[in-house]
Structures are given as C-alpha cells and as structure tokens.
Amino acid sequence: MKDMGNLNVNKDRFGLLSDGSVVNLFTVENGKMSFSASSYGPTLTSINLPDGKGGTVDVLLGFSTLEGWVIDGSCFGTGVGRFANRISGHSFELDGVKYELDDNDSGCMLHGGFDRWEKKLWNAEECRTEYGTGVSFKRLSPDGEQHFPGNVDVTQSFTLNEDNVLTLEYTATTDKPTPINITNHAYFNLKGYNGGAVYDQELQLNCDYILEPESNSPVPNGNKLPVADTVFDFTKPKLIGTDIAKVGAGYDHCYCMNGYKGDGKILDMGYVKDPASGRTMAVKTNQPGIQLYTGNYIEGIKGKNGFVYHSHGALCLETQDFPDAPNKSQFPNCILRPGEVYHRVTQYCFGF
C-alpha cells in the first residue's frame, strides 16, 4: 500500500484475460469512503460509502469478478470512447472525407461500435493531480480503430480527495483530426447496488433544455427542447419515479448544461439524493451535456454477489459532448485536431 498524504492507493490482481494478460484492481481510500477501478476498460468497479451502522454500502452496479465485465456489454462503470453515445447513420464527414462506422444500434454507431474501449487493457499507474490521489489509465487508440482517423493518446485519471470528491479527468491528443467524446457509464444507486428501483431518489439538474430526439429514436434531431412543464423537467428537485412511466422505457435523453460556454469552466450540474439514507451525490463538469439514463435495459443481468438487476435499478449521469455532434454543425465542436488537447473533467461529490 502506498501512502499519498491522507489518501491510500492499494493495488491487487483482479484476474487474467484469455491471452494471459494481468488485470489489476486499484482501491483508493481517504478514511471515509473508497472507490475501486480496474485496468480493464478502464472500469469503476465499486464506490463504498458509510452505511451509518459502522459498515459500508457499495452504490455502484457491476460485477463481483472480472469475468462479468468481460462477458457483459452494458458498460457498467466503464470508460467509453472514442465517441460516446450515438452517431447517426453510423457515419460522418470530416474535411471532405466520409468515414463509415459500425452499425451496432439500429442504424447508429453507439459507444464506439463493436470494438469497444471497455474491452481493452489499459496501462495504469498511481497518480496525484490537482484534484486528488488515484490512478491514471493510458492507452494509444491507433489510427483506424473503430474506423476513426488518427492515432490518439488517451489518459483517463480517477482520483479522490479528502472532501469525498471522485474526479474523472480525460485528456487526449491526436495526429489527425478526429471526433472524440469520452465519458464514464457508471450505474449509480445511492441505496446500494442491490437497492432496487431508483424511483424514490431525488434528482435535480441545472438544465433548462434537452436535445430533442428524433421520432422513435434517441438520436437528437439538432433542436433543443425546453423542459419546462414537461416530464423531462428536473430543474427543481423531483423524485425520479414521478414521471418515468410517461417516458416510454425510461429516461435516455441528453440534457444541456446551463451556462456552458466551452471555456473549460467546471459547472454545477445538479445532484441526486436518497431521502431514506441521506446520501447525496452532486455532479460537476465542464462538458456541455449529460445523458440521463435510468437503466432501462438491464433486466435480468446477474451482478454483484449474484444479485439480479432490474430495469430502473440504477441512474446513469453520463457527462459528455452532444451525441451525433460530428453530424450537427450547430452543436459544440467535438473535433480534436493536431496540436490541441482534449480535456474534460467530471466530479462526483458524495455526502453521507
């Protein structure tokens, strides 16, 4: 165990991949809470908070062993890229060249297509950043991977500080112009991974608009839709279950951050609260959008300690650039060019 101030980083072997590669698991703790992350994905595997009874509760859905993440495709806690969310028509044009991507979601490319980042082994090392102590995961995404142009050097850093803030920091550079959009697909349930539906948890988002989806598709049509007086309105605290039955299978919509100017400033996005336990999670980011997803398609998945997950058993708040941005010139720029640095930060601030 390595002591970095009042925070500790512990490294263990998580398991082996089929080619014999070793996957390591890192646990970072500050004496009050902890998180664990593996070099496969990279993946947040657990977030343990005090349960008020002298023990802890894990508020992150996932699996007990590496094998679960190797087999499953639901992105539990995984880093997602090169372009998170969807690109319509599984294609885009950049500087006069058309790029054809994988069609893995009803005519769209979703979360990078078939060759997913979360199924890769990343180089990992302990780190200390301005945001805290933790682990940096690094990898070169080669030119042509997922059919995207450019060799892209990527770093995903997961750190914790004394104030119970978990920071996810993403940086990247490229040798060719390329779209890039990195997020983490953590499934949260502040009651615990086995806490059941999140209907009775409170959500507030500093977002006056969502991206209006196309009919019968979650892909945005390019317009912003005011949330006021609609089922999508979380500008004031509201229980997640209040209107979820009116939104088809559940929420899977991109909300637009109030006050976003593209200047890198980290803004308060909102918070989640479990009234029964008093646990809270505030979210801050310098990203323009947040995909609110209520675990609509996890029914029947066997997760940690054999617990079977059900639809709406979790809440995902995926901070990101806007989906389909390569095809929507009115959206914030998502193209990274040589000489530029992609830098995105998301913070989950826990209270208990």
Closest by Cα among 294, 224, 219 to 260:
224
Cβ-contact 225, 213 below 8 angstroms = no
CA distance 294 to 33: 25
What is the β-pairing status of strands 267-273 and 252-256?
Answer: unpaired
Residue 169 falls in the annotated catalytic set: no
Q: Exposed, middle or buried by CB within 10 Å (0-12, 13-18, 19+), for 98?
A: exposed
Q: Determine which one of 111, 185, 253, 312 is catalytic.
A: 185
CA 162 to chain centre: 22
Cβ-contact 352, 180 below 8 angstroms = no
Closest by Cα among 34, 30, 37 to 11:
37
Q: Determine which one of 29, 118, 145, 318 is catalytic.
A: 318
CA distance 86 to 323: 5
Residue 312 falls in the annotated catalytic set: no
Q: Tell me the catalytic residues.
A: 185, 318
